[in-house]
Structure 1
């Protein structure tokens, strides 16, 4: 009887240890900067189906989206224009999606490769994260031009830097 109790206790302890090494993303904040025009902003309406297994990253995945309607640059007229059909087209494409295809550790950093879907256009995106306790802070760069959001005429003048802050 004592042996059974001991095995049961060890099995439950092992299960709790495994569970503690896996986590879901509960909350996210995303900010961006359109470098050429020095315009900064945020986008929210964050939804995530992500799961992180810190011991076996190959079992992890990042999948989430944000609502275009929440795009905010602290300028109402600019926000309205950006959400219009000419740029983000919130009516036809209300959400921006990301889904990982690969997650690796590089020293103390985590590299998440995946596909970003914006305005129905799918392009690869690499996000580099640092872990700070229960928070992941990441960064990525893209060209809005690649997603048919042409603020400036040349692709290289449409650089957007993105910062992610996810809480587990």
Structure 2
């Protein structure tokens, strides 16, 4: 009788494990990524993006993003603007060296995906949603997102003036397995 239970127990364990294995893919951020920002008074790129990307197109709920951008990597194409942007009146890069986003939930939308989580800039943490698409290409793929960030919400600079409060971001991140 006990021997007859072994195949049954094995089948139960196998069936249960089929639901516990997560097929999420760990992706490595590849060269050629782009983090561009634009607004009246300032535009440019951030040149240093790092982080962990776990993403599964078929199971977005198992996905997770934890990425940082080095503030010192800002490049506006103007050395004086770069120095000013890194200074204490704006990003204050010496005190707040990174911009950090950690997702808490990834969902499928009609046009792609939303990564909901927490964005931290200039020592201020706020709930934030990043809409994005993912295009798989062989053993890699590319994440693309276009969204707005209100710098004043994060205490970066003063409201109004010659620089827009809201900046448009265009993010393109190629990844490999």
- Contact 1:125-1:140 at 8 Å conserved across structures: no
Partner of 1:76: 79
Partner of 2:40: 36
User: Which has the higher Rg, Structure 1 or Structure 2?
Assistant: 2
Structure 1 length normalisation: TM-score?
0.80
Structure having the higher helix fraction is 1
Which moves more between the two structures, 77-86 or 131-140?
131-140
Q: Secondary structure at the match of 2:153?
A: helix
Following superposition, the deviation at residue 139 of structure 1 comes to 1.4
> CA offsets, 1:24-68, max 9 Å, x none?
1423321111x232x321012211112112221111101100101
Specify every segment of 5 or more residues in structure 1 that has no aligned partner in the other structure, as ranges.
1-13
Alpha-carbon separation, structure 1, partners of 2:118 and 2:81: 27
Q: Secondary structure at the match of 1:153?
A: coil
- Paired residues in the alignment total 149
Runs (4+) off by over 3 Å: none
Q: CA RMSD, aligned part only?
A: 2.3
Partner of 1:102: 105
Structure 2 length normalisation: TM-score?
0.76
Q: Superposition pairs for residues 103-118 of structure 1, below 5 Å? A: 103-118=106-121
Which moves more between the two structures, 124-133 or 97-106?
124-133
Q: Superposition pairs for residues 130-149 of structure 1, below 5 Å? A: 130-133=133-136, 134-149=141-156
